[in-house]
Chain A
Amino acid sequence: MRLALGLCALLATPALAVQPDEVLADPALEARARALSQNLRCLVCRNENIDDSNADLARDLRLLVRERLVAGDTDAEALDFIVERYGEYVLLTPTTGGSNIILWLAGPALLLGGAGLALATLRRRKSAPDAPLTPDEQARLAEILRD
């Protein structure tokens, strides 16, 4: 199932994801870089974040993120900088802007709607007798259910 990820290795030189030489000296800054990396898509792999990806482009992006953070960007500024260059596509967490609000609200809305519907049905429900079974059917049903 995760062949997509494995395939990515084809596009890249065999390497590990985050390389030792990329790691920043400041652990706080490095932790922020790792967190940001997990939200950025490796553009040539398509299903991996740059933190996990082996691809060269992912490495470039990882370095870029760290560069921005070292230069004093906030997390949001660093993300904006990369989105400006690579487009919305690079973000693994879609924004809530524009039509995306549908995506974010679909679950909660459906839950509320479903709960409302269930409640209404429960309230309205009265015991309406079914069409009675024929004696034959009843005997058969009793036989099956007895087991």
Chain B
Amino acid sequence: MIVELGHFTLILALAVALVQSTVPLIGAEKRWAGWMAVAGPAATLQFLLIGFSFAALTYAFVTSDFSLRLVVMNSHTLKPLIYKISGVWGNHEGSLLLWVLILALFGASAAWFGGNLPVALRARVLAVQGMIGVAFLLFLLLTSNPFLRLAEPPFDGEDLNPLLQDPGLAFHPPFLYLGYVGLSMAFSFAVAALIEGRVDAAWGRWVRPWTLAAWVFLTIGIALGSWWAYYELGWGGFWFWDPVENASFMPWLIAAALLHSAIVVEKREALKAWTILLAILAFGFSLIGTFIVRSGVLTSVHAFANDPERGVFILLILAVFMGGALTLFALRAGAMEAKGVFSMVSRESALVLNNLLLAVACFVVFIGTIWPLVAEMLWDRKLSVGAPFFNAAFTPFMIGLALVLPIGALMPWKRGQGGRVLPHLRAALVLSLALGALAFAMQTGRSALGPVGLALGAWVVFGAATELWVRSGRGNLAGRLGRITRLPRADWGKATSHAGLGVTIFAVAAINAWALEDIRVVQVGQSFPIGAYEVTLADVRDVQGPNYLSTMAELQVTRDGQAVTTLYPEKRLYPVAGMPTTEAGIAYGFWRDIYLVIGDPQEGGGWAVRSYIKPFANWIWGGALLMAFGGMLSLSDRRYRIAAGARRTPAGVPAE
């Protein structure tokens, strides 16, 4: 009964979304206040209806209602409760329901917190948000209905993919979706502004918090997925340039560009058309990402559904929304004259360079991702574009970005002078070059990757610190330190995010340059050295888990005769899904991870053991978390709250 109600409310939500996408739009055109006022309640109602529907599906999963096809295919009575819940979105239909739930949540938030928006703009934003809702609710109900019943319910379910039964991955999709779908707000604002034919500083201010929030979620979602791959897949890789990874990375890059260009709109009323274009493209890449993941068009063997009907439907959604928005853009963009002029050397120019590098980097990822498809369609060439291509073609743009970032961040608006800005950065430059040289002298190999990565990362981190220092003004040390702590949160957020990027750049270079690896056959009781450590295979035994069988090794790690840790890597078999997984034994550390994997028993006795020392592994995700935390700091700044303008307090320091 509850399941039927959930199905029914989903259909009702579609009806509400239809109203939301038409009535306020007409109202805004005709200046009918009553019609425009429909938007807010409709958005709230749509969210509540989809929320009920989602709750109904969750209820079916938790109670293991095996009359539902989706529950049978993705759940099992023996599964721990948390994975019964995460099983709701661990499949195509359920994850799309989550997609529309989050879409409706963003729409409703705009209704709840958008009280300071001009009435017509708010009505139009919500109407566009409603249109996206209509498209995806139709997609859900017509091609991917999660509420289909089975005539003859089986006794038990087929279990969720064991790889998905993991805390890191359980929360990876919701964050990713909050990011993907959050960009729909930027899109709705852009389209609404195009319909109105006006973009001003206030528009820049309204659109930024939404974009920033979406970007923060996307950052966390990507980091979670990458971290999961690191500890779960059994060899410590953390990024593979897989099409589905690229699908989340492209919107991230464009959203990062959009964040920065919206600042220029807000502060200087320039780059308006470009910012609108970025807002459209950011959501476009989210849709492309959804298309890539859902359709399986790029021959990425993915656990989710990949039948053509769904792919075509999403492609249609993509064509309608991108085609419509870009046409509108072509018609109206000319009207958006820039107000603020700026010289070649200025913060604005630096941000243009930032945008250029991010956009081109995104394009490189895009063309690399679709190239196999293009080559096969146009020239009948079957080829692969893999990690080596992306590493070679993408990295230079990130290096360029890291090089100019500290300089650009210190540049004044409108007109700057290199001679004024560069002296501030002298200390940062000397320090980071010295660190790089030190690393080069200390390392054993001749590879430049580690030292260069260190110097570059340090340059960005020290650059961020320099900026805070410069902003503290003049005077004695105590006064400056006092002022630094009182700088607006947006300044701290900016510095934190930038430093996070530096940390991640360094960590990625370090782990690639300095990781140690050892592969060998080890007898029980035998020891072997790796780096400064000595590893002993103490025992291998069979263990029974709640819903799996495990072969568990006990490996003792010592350093200079002192016990460091004991690790228990496993090989698991999930009998219901018939699927083996490896669980690495990892000793996480600030400077390094010790990463041990147990393999197969060997014919001549003993076990295959793979060991790694991964330096600075945690710094990769630590840097990503810093980026996200910086974003949150900025969001919490009084002047950028989502309800910016709701509290009317006098202005403080000019914003960044």
Query: Which residue numbers of A lie inside 8 Å of B, CB to CB?
Result: 1-10, 14-21, 23, 38-39, 41, 45-49, 52, 87-95, 98-100, 103-104, 106-107, 110-111, 114-115, 118, 122, 125-130, 133, 140-141, 143-147
Once A5-B229, A52-B235, A127-B341 are accepted as A-B contacts, the answer to whether A93 and B388 lie under 8 Å apart by CB is yes
Provide the residues of chain A in CB contact with B176, threshold 8 Å.
1
Report the stretch among B96-104, B143-151, B367-375, B486-494 that lies at the interface. Answer: B367-375
Once A111-B397, A145-B201 are accepted as A-B contacts, the answer to whether A47 and B382 lie under 8 Å apart by CB is no
Question: Which one of A89, A93, A111 lies within 8 Å of B392 (CB-CB)?
Answer: A93
Question: Which one of A2, A89, A90, A141 lies within 8 Å of B229 (CB-CB)?
Answer: A2
Give chain B nearest CB distance to A12 CB in angstroms.
Answer: 9
Report the stretch among B238-246, B422-430, B447-455, B538-546 that lies at the interface. Answer: B238-246
Determine the distance from Cα of A17 to Cα of B521 in the docked complex, in whole angstroms: 14
Question: Which one of B392, B638, B650 lies within 8 Å of A146 (CB-CB)?
Answer: B650
Determine the distance from Cα of A141 to Cα of B117 in the docked complex, in whole angstroms: 11
A1 and B245 contacting across the interface, CB-CB below 8 Å: yes
Cβ of B444 within 8 Å of any chain A Cβ, yes or no, is: no
Once A14-B580, A47-B242, A93-B386 are accepted as A-B contacts, the answer to whether A111 and B200 lie under 8 Å apart by CB is no
Once A1-B172, A14-B571, A19-B519 are accepted as A-B contacts, the answer to whether A114 and B359 lie under 8 Å apart by CB is yes
Determine the distance from Cα of A90 to Cα of B116 in the docked complex, in whole angstroms: 57
What 0/1 readout, one digit per residue, does chain B (306-350) give for beta carbons within 8 Å of chain A?
A: 000000000000000000000000000000011101101000010
Determine the distance from Cα of A89 to Cα of B163 in the docked complex, in whole angstroms: 28
A89 and B382 contacting across the interface, CB-CB below 8 Å: yes
22 inter-chain pairs at a CB distance below 8 angstroms, sorted by A residue, are A4-B302, A9-B579, A9-B581, A16-B235, A16-B519, A19-B608, A21-B602, A48-B240, A89-B382, A93-B386, A93-B392, A94-B383, A94-B385, A100-B371, A100-B383, A107-B361, A107-B367, A107-B394, A111-B360, A144-B205, A145-B201, A146-B650
Q: How large is the interface on B (under 10, 10 to 19, 20 to 34, 35 or more residues)?
A: 35 or more
Provide the residues of chain A in CB contact with B382, threshold 8 Å.
87-89
Provide the residues of chain B in CB contact with A128, threshold 8 Å.
337-338
Determine the distance from Cα of A145 to Cα of B582 in the docked complex, in whole angstroms: 55
Report the stretch among B22-30, B463-471, B587-595, B640-648 that lies at the interface. Answer: B640-648
A94 and B371 contacting across the interface, CB-CB below 8 Å: yes
B339 and A103 contacting across the interface, CB-CB below 8 Å: no
Interface set, chain B 375-425, CB cutoff 8 A to A: 375, 378-379, 381-389, 392-394, 397
Give B304's nearest chain A residue, CB to CB.
A3
A41 and B608 contacting across the interface, CB-CB below 8 Å: no
B360 and A141 contacting across the interface, CB-CB below 8 Å: no
Interface centre among A52, A88, A144 (most CB of B within 10 A): A144
Known contacts A6-B163, A128-B337; can you find 16 more A-B pairs with CB under 8 A?
A: A1-B244, A1-B245, A3-B304, A4-B242, A4-B301, A9-B581, A16-B519, A49-B386, A89-B382, A89-B384, A91-B383, A92-B384, A92-B389, A100-B375, A107-B393, A144-B645
Question: Which one of A5, A18, A38 lies within 8 Å of B233 (CB-CB)?
Answer: A5
B383 and A46 contacting across the interface, CB-CB below 8 Å: no
Question: Which one of B202, B363, B392 lies within 8 Å of A110 (CB-CB)?
Answer: B363
Determine the distance from Cα of A51 to Cα of B90 in the docked complex, in whole angstroms: 29
Provide the residues of chain A in CB contact with B368, threshold 8 Å.
103
What 0/1 readout, one digit per residue, does chain B (614-656) give for beta carbons within 8 Å of chain A?
A: 0000000000000000000000001100001101111100000
Determine the distance from Cα of A15 to Cα of B116 in the docked complex, in whole angstroms: 60
Determine the distance from Cα of A95 to Cα of B639 in the docked complex, in whole angstroms: 51
A147 and B645 contacting across the interface, CB-CB below 8 Å: yes
Provide the residues of chain A in CB contact with B161, threshold 8 Å.
3, 6
B602 and A114 contacting across the interface, CB-CB below 8 Å: no
Determine the distance from Cα of A93 to Cα of B200 in the docked complex, in whole angstroms: 45
Cβ of B610 within 8 Å of any chain A Cβ, yes or no, is: yes
Provide the residues of chain A in CB contact with B304, threshold 8 Å.
3
Determine the distance from Cα of A45 to Cα of B240 in the docked complex, in whole angstroms: 13
B385 and A103 contacting across the interface, CB-CB below 8 Å: yes
Determine the distance from Cα of A3 to Cα of B225 in the docked complex, in whole angstroms: 10
Give B367's nearest chain A residue, CB to CB.
A106
Give B340's nearest chain A residue, CB to CB.
A127
Determine the distance from Cα of A146 to Cα of B116 in the docked complex, in whole angstroms: 13
Once A2-B228, A114-B356 are accepted as A-B contacts, the answer to whether A106 and B645 lie under 8 Å apart by CB is no
Provide the residues of chain A in CB contact with B386, threshold 8 Å.
39, 41, 49, 92-93
A18 and B116 contacting across the interface, CB-CB below 8 Å: no
Determine the distance from Cα of A15 to Cα of B397 in the docked complex, in whole angstroms: 37
Provide the residues of chain B in CB contact with A8, threshold 8 Å.
301
Provide the residues of chain B in CB contact with A145, threshold 8 Å.
201-202, 205, 651
Question: Which one of B237, B375, B521, B600 lies within 8 Å of A99 (CB-CB)?
Answer: B375
Provide the residues of chain A in CB contact with B357, threshold 8 Å.
111
Give B225's nearest chain A residue, CB to CB.
A1
Interface set, chain B 264-303, CB cutoff 8 A to A: 269, 299-303
Cβ of B520 within 8 Å of any chain A Cβ, yes or no, is: yes
Determine the distance from Cα of A8 to Cα of B242 in the docked complex, in whole angstroms: 13
Determine the distance from Cα of A76 to Cα of B361 in the docked complex, in whole angstroms: 29
Determine the distance from Cα of A95 to Cα of B375 in the docked complex, in whole angstroms: 12
A122 and B651 contacting across the interface, CB-CB below 8 Å: no
A16 and B608 contacting across the interface, CB-CB below 8 Å: yes
Once A47-B242, A106-B367 are accepted as A-B contacts, the answer to whether A90 and B384 lie under 8 Å apart by CB is yes
Cβ of B597 within 8 Å of any chain A Cβ, yes or no, is: yes
Determine the distance from Cα of A36 to Cα of B575 in the docked complex, in whole angstroms: 36
A10 and B375 contacting across the interface, CB-CB below 8 Å: no
A3 and B579 contacting across the interface, CB-CB below 8 Å: no
A130 and B383 contacting across the interface, CB-CB below 8 Å: no
Cβ of B234 within 8 Å of any chain A Cβ, yes or no, is: yes
Cβ of B364 within 8 Å of any chain A Cβ, yes or no, is: yes
Once A15-B599, A126-B341 are accepted as A-B contacts, the answer to whether A3 and B202 lie under 8 Å apart by CB is no
Cβ of B525 within 8 Å of any chain A Cβ, yes or no, is: no
A141 and B200 contacting across the interface, CB-CB below 8 Å: yes
Interface set, chain B 246-274, CB cutoff 8 A to A: 248, 269
Give A47's nearest chain B residue, CB to CB.
B242
Cβ of B352 within 8 Å of any chain A Cβ, yes or no, is: yes
Determine the distance from Cα of A23 to Cα of B597 in the docked complex, in whole angstroms: 17
B371 and A103 contacting across the interface, CB-CB below 8 Å: yes
Provide the residues of chain B in CB contact with A94, threshold 8 Å.
371, 383-385, 389
Determine the distance from Cα of A115 to Cα of B359 in the docked complex, in whole angstroms: 12
B229 and A92 contacting across the interface, CB-CB below 8 Å: no
Cβ of B482 within 8 Å of any chain A Cβ, yes or no, is: no
Once A111-B397, A125-B338 are accepted as A-B contacts, the answer to whether A16 and B234 lie under 8 Å apart by CB is yes
Determine the distance from Cα of A77 to Cα of B523 in the docked complex, in whole angstroms: 38
Determine the distance from Cα of A80 to Cα of B161 in the docked complex, in whole angstroms: 38
Provide the residues of chain A in CB contact with B381, threshold 8 Å.
88, 98-99
Determine the distance from Cα of A15 to Cα of B202 in the docked complex, in whole angstroms: 58
A20 and B602 contacting across the interface, CB-CB below 8 Å: yes
